[in-house]
């Protein structure tokens, strides 16, 4: 075992406990070393692209949910997307999968491990390691409540009157939840960051970390090629601190990265941290933590730029981006199963601009979720809306413009340094699922509709439908993107800040390849730009000489 792993474990748990943990981990993983020895290191390229989906996003008579999803994606994704992220597919008790009852089982409502492996045979497959917390209904927590000493230290008990005022809260819910004591005495209070059903795990317990690492490599054995560490910022708790991004948390990420590099070098590590940019990119470490981090400022800043028809703040942020060390890169997205996180934009967008975006989205049927602040106030945490409805108020008069704006926003996504990830409902043109919110009472349901396989197939084939128009545009961009070296994740980039009406990014491999300049007209009017030389738009094949005029809300990918 790499000595750095042992040293990190000793730093976390002391010499005796850290060394013991290292021996346990080595005994679990050593058999994998020979098995994975022929696996080559995964390197991302311009053809790397993700689709993000729930396992039950598509349902069809005669199919398990995983089978229905597979049948649809097998038909629609080849040559377009090479990687699929199936959101938590384990048995769960709440939070649409993120309150896991058993990490090693597939939810029988979805299918079996055979269904997961079928995806792994045809796509690079991403799975979630939901390790910050576990369901209150899990065997681990139930055994803890029974007083089983094996599980007692897997969870964090805190005195009822403990001062938790400095702890950062991602939700407007109590931090501590009471559960009955096994000896019949006073209730124990357990740390519950996200809900009373999601009991935080205690990473200060070395036996817990050993158990979680064993589970992580179980996923690798089932064909998973990217591990997503969910809510990683909260892993380590220490009263008197914010309990976010603590030194010990970064140690755990480093351990995971080193273990994957040694025992499963083909597997990538992705961290999910919905926080301001500087905090988010800290999970690259010095090239020794995550292979990829979610680019959380991109969704709200792109939304604002297209909605407000102004590139000032998107430019300001994009100009500050730096190329991560080594082969590490950004995981770019606009929409996901969650809402559009607002925290990453709050230190960039002025209050007036943020409020404009929120008000416009609410006018289009969106909702706002809040979090508790240390002073007792509440702050907007995320915007819950389909990404298409950011630009569409539901009327016929604005429909065509909304289509152009939506596709324009995704061109920005495709052109940013890193790899693109498209959410299922964005790829296939879904709108607000407001009746779902009414059924569940949860804001996030607005972008989590489950679709009928036959109806979806019919709509995506109908050339006049919204689903077809959006899917066709996405597919065209992704196919072209996959052929262009300028879109390699490590290709250089430059933001050309010429006008607030446009967003222009230039990509260049620096290897003698012709640079590519992507020009996005954010405004409602035509934009004329002078060029030096001859160019061709690789989307349409149109040639341009010395100048170009873009119609409203259109874009060009120019080479020349």
Catalytic residues: 230
Query: Rounded CA gap, 332 and 493, in Å?
Result: 15
Query: Rounded CA gap, 374 and 237, in Å?
Result: 17
Query: Rounded CA gap, 361 and 79, in Å?
Result: 34
Determine contact, residues 542/511, Cβ cutoff 8 Å.
no
Listed residue (178, 199, 196) closest to 187, CA to CA: 178
CB atoms within 10 A of CB 218: 13
Phi first, then psi: give them for residue 170, nearest 5 degrees.
-90, -5
* 3-class SS of residue 238: coil
Q: What is the DSSP letter of 435?
A: H
Query: Rounded CA gap, 55 and 96, in Å?
Result: 11
Listed residue (312, 318, 121, 370) closest to 224, CA to CA: 121
Query: Rounded CA gap, 231 and 159, in Å?
Result: 24
> Could you give the count of Cα atoms lying within 13 Å of 503 in the half-sphere of its Cβ?
31
Determine contact, residues 104/139, Cβ cutoff 8 Å.
no
- And the tokens for 543? 């040639």
Determine contact, residues 436/445, Cβ cutoff 8 Å.
yes
Q: What is the DSSP letter of 201?
A: B
Tokens 């890193």 sit on residue = 418
Listed residue (423, 406, 409) closest to 470, CA to CA: 406
**Exposure string (b/e) for 195-216, b if CB count within 10 Å is 16 or more?**
bebbbbbbbbbbbbbbbbbeeb
Tokens 């055994």 sit on residue = 143
DSSP string, 491-551: -EEEE----TTEEEEEEE-SSSPPPEEEEEE-SSS-EEEEEEEEEEETTT--EEEEEEEEP
Contacts of 185 (CB under 8 A, 6+ apart): none
Angle between helices 298-308 and 312-319 (to 10 degrees): 150
Tokens 């149109």 sit on residue = 542
**Exposure string (b/e) for 14-33, b if CB count within 10 Å is 16 or more?**
eeeebebbbebbbebbeebe
């Amino acid at each position: 075992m790499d000595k750095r792993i042992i040293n990190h474990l000793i730093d976390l748990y002391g010499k005796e406990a850290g060394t013991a943990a290292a021996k346990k981990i080595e005994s679990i993983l050593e058999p994998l070393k020979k098995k994975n020895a022929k696996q080559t290191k995964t390197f991302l390229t311009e053809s790397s692209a993700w689709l993000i989906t729930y396992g039950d996003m598509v349902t069809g008579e005669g199919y398990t949910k995983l089978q229905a999803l597979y049948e649809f994606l097998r038909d629609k994704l080849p040559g377009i997307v090479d990687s699929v992220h199936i959101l938590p597919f384990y048995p769960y008790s709440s939070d649409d999968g993120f309150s896991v009852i058993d990490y090693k089982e597939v939810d029988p409502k979805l299918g079996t491990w055979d269904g997961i492996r079928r995806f792994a045979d045809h796509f690079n497959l991403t799975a979630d390691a939901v390790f910050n917390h576990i369901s209150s209904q899990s065997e681990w927590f139930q055994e803890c409540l029974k007083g089983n000493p094996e599980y007692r230290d897997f969870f964090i008990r805190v005195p009822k009157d403990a001062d938790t005022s400095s702890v950062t809260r991602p939700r407007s819910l109590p931090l501590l939840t009471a559960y009955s004591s096994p000896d019949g005495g006073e209730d124990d209070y357990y740390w519950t960051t996200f809900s009373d059903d999601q009991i935080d795990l205690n990473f200060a317990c070395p036996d817990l970390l050993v158990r979680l690492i064993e589970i992580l490599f179980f996923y690798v054995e089932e064909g998973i090629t990217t591990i997503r560490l969910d809510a990683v910022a909260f892993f380590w708790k220490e009263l008197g601190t914010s309990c976010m991004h603590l030194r010990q948390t970064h140690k755990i990420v480093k351990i995971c990265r080193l273990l994957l590099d040694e025992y499963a070098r083909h597997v990538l590590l992705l961290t999910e941290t919905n926080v301001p940019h500087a905090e988010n990119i800290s999970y690259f470490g010095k090239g020794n933590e995550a292979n990829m981090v979610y680019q959380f400022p991109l969704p709200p800043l792109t939304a604002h730029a297209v909605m407000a028809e102004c590139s000032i703040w998107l430019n300001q942020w994009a100009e500050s981006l730096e190329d991560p060390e080594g082969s590490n890169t950004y995981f770019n997205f606009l929409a996901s199963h969650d809402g559009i996180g607002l925290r990453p934009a709050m230190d960039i967008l002025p209050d007036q601009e943020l409020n404009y975006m929120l008000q416009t989205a609410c006018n289009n049927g969106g909702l706002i979720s809040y979090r508790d602040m240390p002073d007792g106030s509440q702050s907007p945490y995320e915007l819950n809306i389909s990404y298409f409805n950011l630009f569409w108020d539901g009327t016929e008069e604005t429909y065509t413009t909304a289509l152009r704006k939506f596709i324009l926003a995704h061109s920005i996504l495709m052109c940013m340094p890193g790899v693109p990830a498209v959410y299922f409902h964005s790829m296939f043109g879904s709108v607000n699922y407001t009746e779902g919110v009414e059924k569940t009472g949860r804001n996030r349901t607005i972008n989590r509709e489950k679709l009928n396989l036959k109806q979806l197939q019919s709509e995506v084939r109908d050339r006049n439908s919204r689903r077809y128009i959006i899917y066709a545009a996405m597919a065209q961009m992704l196919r072209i993107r996959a052929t262009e070296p300028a879109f390699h994740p490590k290709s250089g980039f430059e933001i050309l800040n010429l006008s607030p009406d446009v967003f222009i990014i230039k990509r260049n491999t620096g290897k003698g390849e012709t640079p590519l300049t992507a020009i996005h007209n954010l405004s409602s009017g035509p934009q004329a730009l002078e060029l030096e030389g001859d160019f061709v738009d690789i989307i349409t094949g149109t040639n341009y000489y010395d100048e170009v005029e873009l119609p409203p809300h259109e874009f060009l990918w120019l080479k020349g």
